[in-house]
């Protein structure tokens, strides 16, 4: 078991990474201590039959009285409609200020349940139990919670830290391979922006990782959480350094928006974004061609997409989406670019014509075929 601390003063918390540690959920909540005794597990209809009973039993064995709220799976659930549904259920169950919530599921459930926890009764404690790789290495850590509006993704939210994160790697055994690969994109991102040794380890162990050897995954997930914890501890509300976590996201978010949410998984769009932004890094911030190719090659070897073809019409839509992005300032589209593998620079302006070239260049295909 690995124990990673997120050091945020009196809001510090631990991320427990292990195999089979979901069964310890109730005891860990008791140890914190979370008072209860009433609490609620928010989950989705795919995860509930797989892990709901174990989470519920663990809480009951520790003396809590859990209500289970199960929501439809998928991105469209991250909406005000389902937030309101949760509020109604919590009120009917008479959840009080000393009660707490457990988010059991992927990033959709973690973001939504965290937002419910941040706002119900002006804030009650919550615990993250992420069950996708993406949620384990990224969304469950750092306190960004929120929901989508028709106008765009994650437009309503808060910074609200959980009291505890339990990453049980054995939940990954039921995750569809496509979802695992999408989470892997975020793991590769940590190597690219922060840790060249991690990047090298990924290059060396990719085949065993894809076969889901959990012993190999445990230190990797813990390392990703530790990187996120280090970054968040220095810049919780993203006034600077935290922006490096958005490598690949300026182009990736625009691809998600233009292709219709759900066509590409988040990690797939970020994978394409990282390849294009590696090319931009080569042009602007001194990333060597050899390192840019290594990144594109690793992404392709992980079974992730590397290229997004754009004609004039699609390019205009992409540009429009990038101009609406939260990272635009004073009309300039800003990027996170690499100066080397493991070293990132944020707030780098890039002209639209060069962004278009990054998508149209043959760089991605060349790197993927070497």
Output 58 or 246, the one with its CB closest to ligand GLY.
246
Task: Name the nearest CA neighbour of 187 among 164, 169, 174.
Answer: 169
Smallest distance from ligand NAD to CB 329, Å: 21
Q: Nearest 5°: phi and psi at 157?
A: 180, -165
Alpha carbon distance, N-terminus to C-terminus of the chain: 38
Burial class (CB in 10 A: 0-12, 13-18, 19+), 19: middle
CA within 13 Å, CB half, 135: 28
Query: Quick check: 245 binds ligand GLY (CB under 6 A)?
Result: yes
Binds 26: which of ligand NAD, ligand GLY, none (CB < 5-8 Å by kind): none
Instruction: Work out how close the CB of 213 gets to ligand GLY at its nearest, in angstroms, rounded to a whole number.
Output: 26
At 288, give phi and psi (nearest 5°).
Answer: -75, 150
Q: Respond yes or no: is residue 148 known to be catalytic.
A: no
Which residue's CB is nearer to ligand NAD, number 78 or number 334?
A: 78
| CB-nearer residue toward ligand NAD: 41 or 287 | 41
- In the residue annotation, 238 being an active-site residue is answered as yes
Residue 181 CA to residue 297 CA, distance in Å, equals 14
Question: For residue 111, how far is the Cα from the chain centroid?
Answer: 10
Taking a C-beta distance cutoff of 8 angstroms, is the pair 200, 310 a contact?
no
Q: Pick from ligand NAD, ligand GLY, none: which does 6 bind, CB < 5 to 8 A by kind?
A: none
Q: How many chain residues interact with ligand GLY (CB under 6 A)? A: 5
- Residue 134 within binding range of ligand NAD, rule CB under 6 A: yes
Site string for ligand NAD, 78-117 (x = CB under 6 A): x--------------------------xxxxx-x------
Catalytic pick among 28, 56, 179, 186 = 186
Catalytic residue among 48, 78, 189, 266: 266
- C-alpha torsion 45→149→155→39, nearest 10: -30
Contact (Cβ atoms closer than 8 angstroms) between residue 355 and residue 315 = no
Asked whether position 268 contacts ligand NAD by CB under 6 A, the answer is no
Between the alpha carbon of residue 244 and those of residues 40, 170, 234, the distances in Å are 34, 29, 12
Interaction between residue 131 and ligand NAD (CB under 6 A): yes
- The two tokens of residue 66 are 């859990």
Site for ligand NAD, rule CB under 6 A:
44, 46-47, 50, 73-75, 78, 105-109, 111, 131-132, 134-135, 138-139, 142, 144, 153-154, 171, 174-175, 179, 266
| Catalytic residue set | 122, 144, 186, 228, 238, 242, 246, 249, 253, 266
């Amino acid at each position: 078991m690995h124990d990673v601390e997120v050091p945020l003063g009196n809001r510090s918390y631990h991320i427990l990474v292990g195999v089979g540690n979901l069964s310890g959920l109730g005891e860990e909540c008791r140890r914190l201590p979370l008072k209860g005794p009433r609490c609620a597990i928010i989950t989705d209809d795919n995860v509930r039959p797989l892990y709901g009973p174990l989470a519920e039993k663990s809480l009951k064995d520790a003396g809590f009285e859990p209500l289970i709220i199960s929501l439809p799976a998928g991105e469209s659930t991250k909406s005000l409609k389902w937030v309101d549904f949760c509020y109604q259920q919590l009120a009917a169950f008479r959840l009080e200020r000393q009660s707490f919530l457990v988010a059991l599921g992927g990033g959709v459930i973690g973001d939504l349940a965290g937002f419910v926890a941040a706002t119900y009764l002006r804030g009650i404690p919550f615990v993250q139990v992420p069950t996708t790789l993406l949620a384990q290495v990224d969304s469950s850590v750092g306190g960004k919670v929120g929901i989508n509006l028709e106008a765009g993704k994650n437009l309503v939210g808060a910074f609200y830290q959980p009291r505890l994160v339990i990453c049980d790697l054995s939940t990954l055994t039921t995750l569809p391979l496509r979802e695992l690969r999408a989470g892997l994109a975020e793991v590769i991102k940590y190597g690219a922006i922060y840790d060249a040794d991690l990047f090298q380890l990924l290059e060396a162990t990719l085949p065993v990782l894809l076969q889901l050897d959990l012993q190999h995954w445990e230190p990797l997930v813990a390392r990703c959480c530790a990187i996120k914890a280090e970054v968040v501890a220095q810049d919780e509300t993203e006034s600077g350094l935290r922006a490096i976590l958005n490598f690949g996201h300026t182009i990736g978010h625009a691809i998600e928006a233009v292709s219709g949410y759900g066509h590409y998984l988040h990690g797939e769009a970020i994978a394409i974004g990282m390849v294009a932004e590696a090319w931009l890094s080569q042009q602007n911030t001194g990333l060597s061609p050899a390192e840019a190719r290594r990144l594109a090659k690793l992404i392709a070897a992980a079974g992730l997409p590397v290229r997004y073809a754009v004609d004039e019409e699609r390019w205009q839509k992409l540009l429009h989406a990038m101009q609406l992005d939260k990272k635009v300032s004073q009309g300039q589209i800003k990027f996170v670019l690499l100066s080397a593998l493991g070293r990132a620079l944020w707030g780098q302006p890039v002209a639209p014509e060069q962004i278009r070239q990054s998508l149209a260049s043959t760089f991605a295909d060349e790197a993927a075929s070497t």
